Structure 1
Amino acid sequence: MNWGILILLIAIILFGVLAFKGISALILAPLVTCFVLIFAPIFAGEDIAILNGLKEQFMPAAADYVSSYFLMFFMGALFGAVYQFTGAAKSIAKWLAGMCHGKFVAPIIMCITGLLTYGGISGFVVFFVIYPIALQMFRSANLTRRLIPAAISAGCWTWSMYGPGSPSIQNVIPIESLGTTPTAALVPSVIATVASFVMIFVWLEYRARSFTKRGYFFDDPRLKMQLSPEELQEDDPNEVLPNPIVALVPIVVILVLFNIVGLPVETAVFIGVALATILFFTRIEGGINGWIKVFNKGAADSGVSILNTAIVVGFGGVVQNTKGFTDLVNSLQNLDMNPLIFVMITVAVCAGACGSASGGMGVAFNALKDVYAALGANFEYVHRIGAIAAGTLDTLPHQGAQITLLGICKCTHKEAYFDIAITQIAVPFITCFIFIALASTGMM
């Protein structure tokens, strides 16, 4: 038995269990890191140097992540705040929801969240914007609330995250690490992304009908947490929102500037923020002072978001320097597997260890980029398979985003996690194998 690998496995389980209990990542990551720093050296026959490990491995990894991606988080959070407080995101969501006429409700929610996040709006912002809309649509269709968390998060963290041209951080990290482009391996990426979308769409619709046949409806006393009177109120039908077509303009501009013009994602989103501010300026009461409050909220959200991610990247920075991690990588290399399968497994494991797609991808690429090159893997394929694989084991129960969303939706893991796991672990893994099969033909 390799005790080093066992210690890492225990650390990941410990991370998941304590996160499940609601402990903040800001406390949890250093705590579990100390566990690794204490026990991993013992079984490797090395000296214990906890403080040195925290200062020389944990903090540099976390700080490097902040240094590399703060501007992206910052601009994305500002864009999200503008769309949230001006009603632009809600306008797009209601417009799309109106097209389904009460049919395919769960898949339509997935489509709405996917469109918003593909357009550069932070997933955490989308949670709060879409939940009330999802609640209204599920009530009208008399569908169980158990599917709401999966419907919302499937749009945020799957095809919109790893699709070609997406401004998501998972699509940006490979650009900076590997020197690829946003649309790397375009043709197989499009096919795999469409396949992912279709699988999730079909699953959500199947589950909605299955729940209804088994007697699970919107008003479900079996759910542990019931809705408040405020949540049971109908949306104001007379609420005035921006024109949805106008609301789509800044999103389209961001995608064009990022993918066609070739501007850095931070610059593209900045222009989108400026354009949205001009288009929706009168939507915020108080003029300049009102807008200052909107931007302050976005800036504050960006700080919390990147710090929670960076701190788990610090944990990953310690893990990648342990003998157990080296032994795990070596054992995988010795299996003589397809290089892209090796990329898939290592990125997925790192994402699971960090409870973060971007954090796990950052750790894997920093530690193993040279190994990927030595195995002869085409970096365009590595880019896409890494982006897809990062969205698999990051969705283990300890992922902070899922815990947050379940709290918003008033559902427990027992009630809603199965559909989250299918749409955001099983489907992305299937998507990985679809992409690998296409890549094996040399398709670009």
Structure 2
Amino acid sequence: MTLALLGILLSLALLITLAYRGHSVIAVAPLAATVAVIMSGAPLLASYTQIFMPALGGFMAAFFPLFLVGAIFGRLMTVSGYAQDLAGWISGLLGPRFAILVTVLATALLTYGGVSAWVVVFTIFPIATALFAEADIPRRLMPAAIALGIFTFATAALPGSPQIHNTIPTKFFGTNTFAAPGLGVLGAVLVFGLGMLWLDRRQKQLAAAGESFSDPTLAELEEDATRRGNGTTPAPATQVDPDEPASDGAARTPAATLTAVRSTSTAPAQPAPGAAAGLLGLSPVLAIVLVNALCTYVVLPNLDFGYLADEKFGGTTVEALTGVWSVTVAMLAGIALVFVLRVAAWKTYVKAITEGARNAVLPVFNTASEVGYGAVIASLAVFAVVRDGMFGISDNPVVVSAVSTSGISGLTGSASGGLTITLQTFGEQLAQMATDQGIPMELMHRVTAMASTGFDSLPHNGAIITLLLVCGLSHREAYKDIFVVTVIVPVVGLLAVMGLGLAVGTF
């Protein structure tokens, strides 16, 4: 028993370490699972082909449509210029004086519209750079401002968010993406408010200490030292599309991506988009929110889906599918609107669909591999001890769900991965406990979704590493503020929603 438990701990350490060092989770997850399987004495090949792969495939079968339409929509928003117009319009309305607020609002709005984190980062970075430079705000605060808008309230707290983190719980609790709207809005406002208070306080602290935007980063100091040591000057940077592969077909290296982003950020400033351009960029986002609500509350509930009870359709109900179906249809509506708004660019948009589809593959495989890893760990006999420990924390399913989701998301460094592992492992028991105790499933949904966006943002989180890379900053320079706004603040928001939900119910 002790050896098996040690195997799980070693496998988690291996998963975290290799993921942190940039290795693909697609390869790392089965490797880490192998360590746990061998040390527990379970059959190795059967664990891979009969447990890991079915779990991986099950996740992809359920959620790949969301990854696909989300990636396509994000790519279309980029190539059409609508994402940039929207962010630029907001920055023009508020101005550089509110650089941090503009950055948070713009990223949150794009995130709530379903645009992927990767696309949002590259869209916002040049705009945030210009705003921070004009307001003379130290660059070390930029990653935290972007992270607050992407990884917290807009992802899992705001009702109706089409992000995968707000959709996964619908499959397990029979809810929809608008679950517990009042609690979700209150949680979002709290997280946003506390995050902004921290960033505003830090801005004043750094200004008082004499820090400014022009202060060189550690990466720039290292580059300068290397250049002086070699007696050379750097070659001029060329602008490239960070979404495109390198000319040899290989993945673009971090250095090449950083060079591309820096060259974009130092390009001559462009006039802020006008209201017409900004509203045009906003329209696909609004379309997604509106269609999602219509499908959830009007269209799907009033259509006859009795045929879903047939075994060939999985013997299910429309209530179990509403979360995924509504978001998928809403994203398709957003995609269609992008085409309609600028029909003349259809050839470019068709190409963007192919690029977006390609961009969907790696994220869904990464998350699915983590799900497969979790399924293998859950299948081990020793996991009963872990499960009992989780359920021994409390007899309240809301508390158990929050703690287990937060913990597993933190260990895996993935909100969606930790959320899925938790619900696939404990979901049925949690739902039954909630039913027995009269706890609304909407509360379970909102708490579980919000719990995934806290400890997932520890230093080994791939999205955090990417964000720092894009901003040209190190963990030492910027992670303190990221930690506060993406870990501490969301946990405070989660506790508030839990306490209020358990005290007065959902609303």
* TM-score normalised by L of structure 1: 0.92
Question: Which residue pairs with 2:408 in the alignment?
Answer: 350
The sequence identity of aligned pairs, in percent, is 31
Q: 1:188 and 1:333 mapped to 2: Cα distance?
A: 25
Q: 1:281 and 1:325 mapped to 2: Cα distance?
A: 55
Question: Which residue pairs with 2:353 in the alignment?
Answer: 295
Q: 1:252 and 1:170 mapped to 2: Cα distance?
A: 20
Q: Residue type matched to 2:145 in 1?
A: A
Matched, 1:373 2:431: yes
Q: Residue type matched to 1:32 in 2?
A: A
TM-superposed deviation, 1:238: 8.3
Q: Residue type matched to 2:189 in 1?
A: V
Could you tell me which runs of 5 or more consecutive residues in structure 1 were left unpaired when the two chains were aligned.
42-46
Q: 2:107 and 2:384 mapped to 1: Cα distance?
A: 38
Aligned pairs for 1:248-287 within 5 A: 248-262=282-296, 264-282=326-344, 284=345, 287=346
For the pair shown, which has the larger CA radius of gyration, 1 or 2? 2
Matched, 1:110 2:104: yes
Is the 1:15–1:398 Cα contact (8 Å) retained in structure 2? no
Is the 1:316–1:354 Cα contact (8 Å) retained in structure 2? no
Could you tell me which runs of 5 or more consecutive residues in structure 2 were left unpaired when the two chains were aligned.
222-258, 301-325
Q: 1:147 to 1:11 in 2, by over 3 A?
A: farther
Aligned pairs for 1:209-224 within 5 A: 209-224=204-219
Instruction: Write the deviation string for residues 281-319 of structure 1: whole angstroms up to 9, x where unpaired.
Output: 34x4xx52x222211111111112211221222212212
Question: Which residue pairs with 1:44 in the alignment?
Answer: none
Q: 2:468 and 2:203 mapped to 1: Cα distance?
A: 18
Q: Residue type matched to 1:419 in 2?
A: D
Q: 1:418 to 1:184 in 2, by over 3 A?
A: same
Q: 1:125 and 1:233 mapped to 2: Cα distance?
A: 19
Q: 1:336 to 1:96 in 2, by over 3 A?
A: same
Matched, 1:326 2:326: no
Is the 1:118–1:167 Cα contact (8 Å) retained in structure 2? yes
Q: 1:296 and 1:373 mapped to 2: Cα distance?
A: 39
Q: 1:103 and 1:395 mapped to 2: Cα distance?
A: 28
Question: Which residue pairs with 1:78 in the alignment?
Answer: 72
Q: Give the secondary structure class of the aligned counterpart of 1:441.
A: helix
Q: 1:157 to 1:229 in 2, by over 3 A?
A: closer
TM-superposed deviation, 1:155: 0.9
Instruction: Write the deviation string for residues 319-349 of structure 1: whole angstroms up to 9, x where unpaired.
Output: 2223443212212323435331111011112
TM-superposed deviation, 1:390: 0.7
Q: Residue type matched to 2:133 in 1?
A: R
Q: 1:15 and 1:419 mapped to 2: Cα distance?
A: 25
Matched, 1:151 2:185: no
Q: 1:432 to 1:238 in 2, by over 3 A?
A: closer
Q: Residue type matched to 2:287 in 1?
A: V
Q: 1:253 and 1:239 mapped to 2: Cα distance?
A: 21
Q: 2:274 and 2:498 mapped to 1: Cα distance?
A: 47
Is the 2:30–2:373 Cα contact (8 Å) retained in structure 1? yes
Q: 2:65 and 2:130 mapped to 1: Cα distance?
A: 35
Instruction: Write the deviation string for residues 122-156 of structure 1: whole angstroms up to 9, x where unpaired.
Output: 11111111111111111111112212222112211
Alignment coverage as a number of residue pairs = 434
Instruction: Write the deviation string for residues 170-214 of structure 1: whole angstroms up to 9, x where unpaired.
Output: 111111221112221222222112111111111122222222222
Q: Give the secondary structure class of the aligned counterpart of 1:22.
A: coil
Q: 1:110 to 1:332 in 2, by over 3 A?
A: same
Question: Which residue pairs with 1:9 in the alignment?
Answer: 9
Q: Give the secondary structure class of the aligned counterpart of 1:233.
A: coil
Q: 1:25 and 1:141 mapped to 2: Cα distance?
A: 39
Q: 1:384 and 1:307 mapped to 2: Cα distance?
A: 25
Question: Which residue pairs with 2:166 in the alignment?
Answer: 171
Question: Which residue pairs with 1:435 in the alignment?
Answer: 497
Q: 1:275 and 1:398 mapped to 2: Cα distance?
A: 37
Matched, 1:339 2:397: yes
Is the 1:347–1:390 Cα contact (8 Å) retained in structure 2? yes
Q: Residue type matched to 2:269 in 1?
A: D
Instruction: Write the deviation string for residues 27-68 of structure 1: whole angstroms up to 9, x where unpaired.
Output: 2222212222222x1xxxxx3422221112221111111111
Question: Which residue pairs with 2:422 in the alignment?
Answer: 364
Question: Which residue pairs with 2:313 in the alignment?
Answer: none
Q: Residue type matched to 2:396 in 1?
A: N
Q: Give the secondary structure class of the aligned counterpart of 1:216.
A: coil
Matched, 1:314 2:379: no
Q: 1:205 to 1:325 in 2, by over 3 A?
A: farther
* TM-score normalised by L of structure 2: 0.81
Question: Which residue pairs with 1:139 in the alignment?
Answer: 133
TM-superposed deviation, 1:77: 0.9
Instruction: Write the deviation string for residues 251-282 of structure 1: whole angstroms up to 9, x where unpaired.
Output: 11111111233262111110110111110334
